[in-house]
Amino acid sequence: MSLNQNTARAASRALAGAGEPDHGNKAPKVGVFQRRKGATQENPAVNVILTIILSLGAVIMAAPLVWMVSTSLKTKDGVYALPPEWIPDPFVWDNYVRVFQDTYVLSGIKNSLIVAISVTVVGTVFSSLAAFALAKLRLPGKNVIFIALLSGMMVPFPTLMIPQFIMFSRIGWVDTLLPLIIPVILGNVIMIFFLRQYLHNVPDSLVEAAKIDGASYLKIFWTMILPLMRPAIAAQFILWFMAVWNDYLAPIIYLNTPEKQTLQVVIANMNVQYATQRDYPLIMTASVISVVPILIVFLIFQRQIIESIALTGSKT
Amino acid sequence: MATTAPPAETTTWSKEDAKAAKKRSRRMHRKEHGWAAAFMAAPVLGWVAFLLFPMGFSIYASLTNWNGIGKMTFIGFDNYVLLVKDPYFWKALWNTVFYMIGIPIGLAISLALALALSRKIRGRTFFRTVYYIPVISSLAAIAILWQWAYNGDFGLVNQALALVGIDGPNWLADSTWAKPAIIIMAVWKGMGYSMLLYLAAVQAVPRSLYEAASLDGANGWKKFTKITWPMVQPVTFFLVVTNIIGGSMIFTEINIMTPTGGPEWSTASLVWYIWNKAFRNLQMGYATAMALVLGILVLIVTAIQFRINRANEFSID
């Protein structure tokens, strides 16, 4: 066994090449004790094979997105080139000018921002206040309230969309952004759930002490609870923002006028409209524009987002 | 659950004492109750106005013949009878269930990826990011992109298949391949999320378990089935539940990639059909009935899963 491992390590060193000097070197020289320790040690050959498989997978994951960006820089005819052109020839930056001049992408961005920012900012305040009350304040029956709120997560939006639509059409809110904002701005059950869970790690005595010191509940929330919750809030906030930004079903129900539509609806409609004109580069340009802002946010806050998602799994 | 409940010191008291004490504490904490109620007010209000009320309204509307604007004519359970006889409803339900094949496939790949990425592999962070990017991309944009990628003549998918000598079908225009096409896209888009959850779970498994198993002479497969798989089971459960709830609502990709429900109606999902009935055909009563049936189906399936999960529960200290 130790011989096999030895050859494998040598092979991996050879495969890894000069570009990766410390690959496989971490293991100390194979000695008498090596075999016992080797039981939990990773086989470098397996790691090399896995790296190759992961790389192939990464190509499959990235190719469509790379192609989207590449197409956004092509001419109309360049799209149909066979074999496909990965590097556009010529580069057509004009698509990015046209997409703002000739389409509703700009108003789409504006509307999406209005919805996403108002919902997440105000909604986060409501959610964290509720989480504070549910976790740390006394109220008879508050657990019943919590369970009731949680039950809302079980009801799929499509089941509610028709009556909600009727409600909003009665008060004349169809074709405005309000039906997208009002029902969600009042608080996000998922966020409440996680923040409440997070606050369970904060000792009750801390809150009690502040109360004895005569601090008001708002003050306790603002100066003590909110700063404590900040990392959890940040992560949930980003996830929520992305969900609202990417939403499609609710906006498509309410928004008819092109300049009132959110970005996702705008690009979906462009897909129908410009496909008949075979203007794929323009459609792809709009798609790139809808993906890029979120991508940048993700890359900046990657660590927090990933931690928060990992938390999602561990809290179940 | 209720960590704020007072400690159980009432045991030594009589019932009357306890009641009196409770009353006293209630009076003492009245101010706190007020603030707590105020802090919870917004989500509770939202719950009543946008969940409870619409649900009640739905139940009534599902018993009427109604176009959403005019008079609601009460017709009893006619909508539900209609629904049982409606071949399109069954087809849409079948399609929706069929899409769920993607769930086990996606989870298997994600777990494999997570296991691979939990090893000391160069560029782990890079891989993690690349696999996760489709998750954060907007579904509308991704659907548009894949619709074009599935194009029979110029699409990326068939170009790639041609490299290995396969003559791909005209995916979305082919009633056999349209559903698999949507499943592949959904797996591609959702994989990164499950992968991250699995990765966190795999890394949380105590190393000592594997070391003990090695000393007992367990091989890799044994270690996987006896340690890793049971240890990540809560994550699997979470993912299956959320994926089924999410999968039952599949709409965006259907509506964008196959705006007419696909060749021979092969891609129409239940939510797509409900949406069409409600907002294109203005059969609000009927659509509401279908939406309620969808909600109840989701509830039943979720309840069954929780039941099964409870039977499988175990703990390690």
- Condensed to tens digits (0 to 9), the pLDDT of residues B188-205 reads 999 999 999 999 899 888
Q: What is the ipTM of this complex?
A: 0.83
The DSSP secondary-structure symbol of A85 reads P
Confidence of residue A31 (pLDDT cuts 50, 70, 90): very low
Confidence of residue B108 (pLDDT cuts 50, 70, 90): very high
pTM: 0.85
* pLDDT for position A315: 52
B160 pLDDT more than 60: yes
- Condensed to tens digits (0 to 9), the pLDDT of residues A174-225 reads 999 999 999 999 999 989 998 998 898 888 888 889 888 888 999 999 999 9
Contact between residue A131 and residue A195 where contact means Cβ atoms under 8 Å apart:
yes
Work out the average pLDDT over A77-93. Answer: 82
Nearest to A158 among B37, B117, B249 (CB): B249
Confidence of residue A41 (pLDDT cuts 50, 70, 90): low
Residue B138: what residue type?
A: S
Radius of gyration (C-alpha) of chain B in whole angstroms: 26
Domain borders along chain A are 2-71, 100-314
Name beta bridge partners: B146. none
- Inter-CA distances, A92 with A69, A123, A291, B62, Å: 12, 41, 20, 53
Closest C-alpha among A186, A182, A206, A201 to residue A130: A186
**End-to-end CA distance of chain B, in Å?**
20
Neighbour-count burial of A294, counting CB atoms closer than 10 A to its CB (0-12 exposed, 13-18 middle, 19+ buried):
buried
Interface of B with A in 69-108 (CB under 8 A): none
Tell me the angle at which helices A44-71 and B139-149 cross, rounded to the nearest 10 degrees: 90
Alpha-carbon distance of A134 to B4, in angstroms, equals: 9
Assign a CATH topology to domain B100-268.
MetI-like fold (1.10.3720)
* pLDDT for position A39: 44
The torsion angles phi and psi of B64, rounded to 5 degrees, stand at: -125, 165
A–B interface: beta-carbon pairs under 8 A: 296
- Condensed to tens digits (0 to 9), the pLDDT of residues B222-265 reads 999 999 999 999 899 989 999 999 999 999 999 999 999 999 99
CA A89 to chain B, closest CA, distance in angstroms equals: 17
A6 pLDDT more than 80: no
Nearest to A139 among B37, B121, B140 (CB): B37
Confidence of residue B32 (pLDDT cuts 50, 70, 90): confident
Closest C-alpha among A225, A227, A235, A213 to residue A132: A225
Nearest to A183 among B50, B188, B199 (CB): B50
Closest C-alpha among A22, A63, A60, A64 to residue A44: A22
**Hunting for tokens 């907007």 — which residue is that?**
B138
Distance of CA B181 to the CA centre of its chain: 20
Contacts of B150 in chain A (CB under 8 A): none
Tokens standing for residue B158? 């068939």
Contacts of A78 in chain B (CB under 8 A): none
Interface of B with A in 184-203 (CB under 8 A): 188, 192-193, 196-201
A27 pLDDT more than 80: no
As annotated, the residues of chain B forming the CATH 1.10.3720.10 domain(s) are 100-268
Specify the 3-state DSSP secondary structure of B156. helix
The Cα angle at residue B138 between residues B133 and B141, in degrees rounded to 5: 105
- Inter-CA distances, A158 with A55, A75, A193, A249, Å: 39, 40, 22, 9
* pLDDT for position A176: 96
Taking the CB of residue A52, how many other CB atoms lie within 10 A of it? 11
Q: What is the mean pLDDT of chain B?
A: 89
- Inter-CA distances, A253 with A163, B28, B244, B253, B285, Å: 12, 49, 23, 15, 17
* pLDDT for position B12: 56
Judge whether A220 is closer than 8 Å to chain B, CB to CB.
Answer: no
A100-314: in CATH 1.10.3720.10:
yes
CB contact under 8 A, B275 and A158: yes
B48 pLDDT more than 70: yes
- Condensed to tens digits (0 to 9), the pLDDT of residues A244-254 reads 999 999 999 99
The DSSP secondary-structure symbol of A101 reads H
CA A100 to chain B, closest CA, distance in angstroms equals: 17
- Condensed to tens digits (0 to 9), the pLDDT of residues A220-239 reads 999 999 998 888 888 888 88
Confidence of residue A16 (pLDDT cuts 50, 70, 90): very low
